Structure 1
Amino acid sequence: MVDVIKNTQMHCTYGCKTSKAVQPNVAGKMISKAKRPLLIVGSQVLKDEELLKRTIEIAKKADLPVAATGHSISGMVDSGVNAKYINVHSLATYLCDPNWKGLDGEGQYDTVIMLGHIKYYVNQVLSGLKSFSNLKTISIERFYIQNATMSFGNITPEVHVEALDELIENL
């Protein structure tokens, strides 16, 4: 088992409630048990072929709809993944609206999974979700994200790939 929760050092804090460190096997089981999960993918997945490969594998294995933010949609084209482009700030606003019916019109999501974002950017987006929604947010980034409900710790790229492989096994 890959240990991804030992380094959760924060360089700054954003309120009294911070994310709980989570192991990949637990995150995988939580994603598979979610009623309406959404995978939010950032453009950083395009910088690493292994990360993009695992992102697509996560989406396919768990049959997750994908919100492709930034220019990450280019990595999702022709991959067989149900991906739709949306701006991450717009998406965060919509996710806080209890009347929003989702990207597919089927209703509000209960869990969002974040992968492939710049730390300081996604942390602020998650701050809004933490404060103005009841969503469960799981960060499977390689950095500890304080404003998620649950997050991996600060890990190396190699350990991150191992953690994602373990998460995929538990979907």
Structure 2
Amino acid sequence: MADVSKNLKVYTTYGPKTAKGTKPSIVAKMIEKAKRPLFVVGSEVLEEELLARAKAIAKKGIPVAATGHSIKGFIDEDGVDAKYINIHFLGTFLCDPKWAGLDDNGCYDLIILLGHKKYYINQVLSGLKNFSDLKTINIGRHYTQNATLSFGNITPEVHLEALDELIDNL
């Protein structure tokens, strides 16, 4: 079992609410309980081994919001519902409880993030933390304090192991 709930060292300042460390099995349970999860991937997901795991997660029936140029990895992929959106627009839209979502089926209740630069996504998550009731989970390899839950700071090998464990539990 990949231990990704430790090493929560923070390199920037943050507010009174900070992410709790989490494990792949807990993330899988939260995804299964969610009514409308959304998998938000960034351009760092285009690395071959990471992309394979992102596609496996998406094929579990979770819609994908592809930000940056990450949409290239999901074009024409069978079993994956991926749509492109700018991460800043997405952050703004997610704060609006009347937004119909990328598929016009209503608001999301759980946001799962992978493949983003920590310093970049942390600012978007700050807005979601302070202006919405959404649960956010960072399954990237760097602890992201503005998420609701986050993996700790882990090596690429442990990260891939954790993602494999998450996929097995979905």
TM-score tier after normalising by the smaller chain length: over 0.9
- Report how far residue 170 of structure 1 moved: 1.0
Q: Report Cα offsets for 1:44-84 as digits up to 9, x if no partner.
A: 011x20100000000102x0110000000000012121000
Q: Does 1:27 align with 2:27?
A: yes
Q: Does 1:57 align with 2:52?
A: no
Report the equivalent of 1:109.
Answer: 108
SS of structure 1 residue aligned to 2:136 = strand
RMSD: 0.6
Runs of 4+ in 1 over 2 A off after TM superposition: none
Quote the sequence identity (%).
Answer: 67
The one-letter amino acid paired with 1:16 is P
Report the equivalent of 1:3.
Answer: 3
The one-letter amino acid paired with 1:5 is S
Report the equivalent of 1:134.
Answer: 133
Report the equivalent of 1:75.
Answer: 73
- Report how far residue 13 of structure 1 moved: 2.2
TM-score, normalised via structure 1 length: 0.97
1:86-165 map, 5 Å:
86-165=85-164
The one-letter amino acid paired with 2:53 is R
Q: Report Cα offsets for 1:11-67 as digits up to 9, x if no partner.
A: 122201100000111111111211100000000011x20100000000102x01100
Structure 2: 5+ residue stretches without partners: none
How many residues are paired up? Answer: 169
Q: Report Cα offsets for 1:72-97 as digits up to 9, x if no partner.
A: 00000121210000000000000000
- Report how far residue 168 of structure 1 moved: 0.6
State the alpha-carbon separation in 1 of the partners of residues 148 and 54 from structure 2. 20
In 2, are the aligned partners of 1:19 and 1:151 still within 8 Å (CA)?
A: yes
In 2, are the aligned partners of 1:45 and 1:55 still within 8 Å (CA)?
A: yes
State the alpha-carbon separation in 2 of the partners of residues 170 and 8 from structure 1. 23
The one-letter amino acid paired with 2:95 is C
SS of structure 2 residue aligned to 1:90 = helix
Structure 1: 5+ residue stretches without partners: none
SS of structure 2 residue aligned to 1:67 = strand
